[in-house]
Amino acid sequence: MKSLAVYYNTTVKYGFKMELMSAFAKPIEESGIRVRHFKGPEGFEVADDFSHAIIFNYQRVKQNQEELKARLQLRVNVWNKYKESGKIWMFDNDVLNGVDAHLNHNYHYDMKNSYVRVAYGNIYPGKAKYFNDNCPRDRWDLMAKIKRIKVQEYDLRKGEFIYICCNRGSSGYSGLGVNASQWAIETADELRKHTDRPIIIRQHSSRSYEEHKTDFKRLTEYCETADKVSVESPLGEYPGLVGQIKRAYAVVIFTSTAGGPAIVEGKPLFICNKHCYYLPMNAGRLSDIEKPNISMDRQQFLNNLGYSHWRLPDLKSGEYWERVKDVI
C-alpha cells in the first residue's frame, strides 16, 4: 500500500467515530505509509493521488439535513473513485448491536469497547473481504464477554410466532431499493402457504426514512384482512426487539441486524437477500419454515464474526493492521 486518504466527513463531525478513523490510520502512518486526514470544511473533496481510502458507511446521530446530504454524497463520491480497484476500507455497524448488554441488561456501555465492522473492497458481505476465514474463537470469546452474550441452544419446540423484521425503508445500500413494507407483505403471503403459525411484522425503529408513515399505513391495512398477521411499529405498539425474538419460533429478515439476536438466541433465521452478513446462517427457503436447517456451524460463524469486528484499542494498537498489511 502506497498511501491512504482518511475521509472523516463521511461520518459525524465529532466524537467516537472520528476517534475510530484516527485510530485506524495511526499504525499505518507510523509504518511510514503516506496518510492524509481529510476533515473540516475542506474535507469534502475527493483527492486523486492516494492508492487507498477509508470511509464510514453508517450514521446514527441526527444532523442538519444539508450537512447530512453532503456527508452522504462524499461517501458516494469516494466509493465511485475506488469501487473498481477495491482499495477501500469501510467502517460499518456492528452486526450484533441488537444484542448489546446495554440494551439487554442494566449495564453501562463503554464506548471504548464498542465494535465496528471493518470491510475491505466492498460493503456487501458477499463481496467484501474481512480476512476472517476459519478463525479461532479468542476474539469471539472476548466480544461475548464484553457484550455479556450467552448463546442459547436451538429448540424448535418453542416459539409463539414467526417474526418478520423489516429494513429501514428502501434507501441506503442495504435496502437495495426494495420497499420494506412490500417485501414484508410478500414474505408473509409466501409464509402463509407453508405454515399456519401467527406472523408478526416488525417495522424498523427509525422514523426518519421517507416511507415510514406510508409503510405503517400499508402494513396496518394488510393486517386487517390477512390471516393471523399483526404489525409492530414505533407509531404504535413496539415492544423490545430481543424480548420478542426470545418469544419467536423463527425470524425472517431482508438484511436487518435483527438477524444477530436471532442467531444468539437460537432461533432459525431465514434470509431473503444474498448480500446479508448472516447468510451463512440461513435456515433455508421460506418453504422450509416448518423444517428449518439448524445444522450450520454456528460457533465457526461467531468465531469469524469476531475477526470482522474491531474495537478502538484493536485499531490503535495496530492489531488489525498487522493482520492485514501483507495481504492488502
| DSSP string over 139-158 | HHHHHHHHHT--PPPP-TT-
Q: Measured over all CA atoms, what is the biggest interatomic distance in the chain, rounded to whole angstroms? A: 65
Q: 212: closest CA among 166, 272, 245?
A: 166
DSSP 254: S
Fold entry, domain 162-293: Rossmann fold (3.40.50)
- For the segment 319-323, the average pLDDT, to the nearest whole number, is 97
Span 156-214, pLDDT tens digits: 999 999 999 999 865 555 656 789 999 999 999 999 999 999 999 999 987 666 677 89
The residue type of 56 is: F
* Pairing status of strand 162-165 against strand 115-120: unpaired
Q: 18: closest CA among 27, 5, 8, 6?
A: 8
Strand ordering across the sheet containing 88-92: 34-38, 3-7, 52-56, 88-92, 115-120, 309-311
Span 84-101, pLDDT tens digits: 999 999 999 899 987 864
- Whether the predicted pLDDT of 111 surpasses 90: no
The residue type of 153 is: E
Rounded-to-integer distance, Cα 324 and Cα 316, Å: 14
Span 230-265, pLDDT tens digits: 999 998 889 999 999 999 999 999 999 999 999 999
* Pairing status of strand 115-120 against strand 52-56: unpaired
